[in-house]
Amino acid sequence: MVAFGIAYVLLDVRSPEEVLADLDKTVVLQNADGSELLKVIPPGGDRLFVPYDAIPAKLRDAIVATEDPTFWDNEGFDLTGLGRALVTGVGGGSGITQQYIKKSTGNEDATLARKFSELVLATKITQQQTKKEIFESYINIISFGRGTYGPASAMNAYFGRKLDDSMTWAEAAFLAGMIQSPSVHDPYASTHEHAMKRWSYVMNKLVTRGYLSQAEAVAMTYPEDAIQAPSETRAGRVTFEKYHLKQRVLAELEQVGYPLDRLRGGAMKVETTIDPRAQAEAEKVLKERLQGQPEHFRASLVAVEPGTGAIRAYNGGGWSVHDYAGTPYGTGSAFQPFTLAAGLERGINVDEPLKSPGKVDFLGETFEFQDQCGEAGKCTLREAIGRDARGPFVDLAKKLGADAVRDGARAAGIPEAVDGAVTLREKDGFLIGPGIAVGRYPLRPSDMAGAYATFAADGMRATPHLVSKIRDENGEIVWERPSDKAPAFKDDEALSRRIAGTVGQVLTSGLKDRPAALKTGDFQYNETDDNAGGWAVGYTPRLSTAVWVGSDEPRRMRDAAGEKLTGKTIPSDIWQRFMSGFHRGLPVKWPAPAQTVAPARPR
CA angle, 595 as apex, 590 and 599 as ends, to 5°? 115
In 3-state terms the chain splits into helix, strand, coil percentages (rounded to 5) of: 40, 15, 45
From the list 129, 112, 118, the residue with the least C-alpha distance to 16 is: 129
- All residues at 6 or more sequence positions from 376 whose CB lies less than 8 Å from its CB, including other chains: none
Distance CA(187)–CA(147), nearest Å, equals: 15
Q: How many CB atoms lie within 10 A of CB 343?
A: 23
Q: Which of 67, 136, 232, 283 is catalytic?
A: 67
455 neighbors 517 (Cβ within 8 angstroms): yes
Query: Which of 395, 392, 345, 373 has the alpha carbon at shortest distance from 502?
Result: 345
Counting beta carbons within 10 angstroms of the beta carbon of residue 272, is it exposed (0 to 12), middle (13 to 18) or buried (19 or more)? buried
What is the Cα–Cα distance from 81 to 98, expressed in whole angstroms?
Answer: 12
CA-to-CA dists, residue 506 to 336, 499, 502, 509, 583, angstroms: 11, 11, 6, 9, 22
Q: Which one-letter amino acid corresponds to residue 388?
A: D
The Cα 178–Cα 271 span in angstroms is 26
Residue 568 in 3-state DSSP?
Answer: coil
Q: DSSP alpha helices (H): ranges in 413-512?
A: 445-456, 493-506
End-to-end Cα separation, the chain, in angstroms = 75
- Active-site residue, selected from the candidate residues 143, 333, 356, 496: 333
Residue 130: enclosing H or E segment and its boundaries?
Answer: none
* Cα(49)–Cα(4) distance, integer angstroms: 33
Residue type, 56: P
Count CA atoms closer than 13 A to 81's CA, side-chain side.
Answer: 18
Q: Could you give the CA distance from residue 412 to residue 443 in angstroms, rounded to a whole number?
A: 13
**What are the φ and ψ backbone dihedral angles of 77, each rounded to 5 degrees?**
-155, 155
Annotated catalytic residue 416:
no
Residue 468 CA: distances (Å) to CA of 46, 242, 269, 481: 29, 18, 11, 6
DSSP line for 413-470: T--SEETTEESSS-TTSS---GGGGTT-SEE-HHHHHHHHHHHHTTTEE---BSEEEE
* 3-class secondary-structure state, position 522: strand
Listing DSSP states for 243-278 in one string gives HHHHHHHHHHHHHTT--HHHHHHTT-EEEE---HHH
Q: Quick one: which of 138, 151, 94 has its CA closest to 118?
A: 94
Residue 473 designated active-site:
no
* DSSP three-state, residue 69: coil
Q: Which amino acid is at 316?
A: G
What residues are annotated to the active site?
A: 67, 333
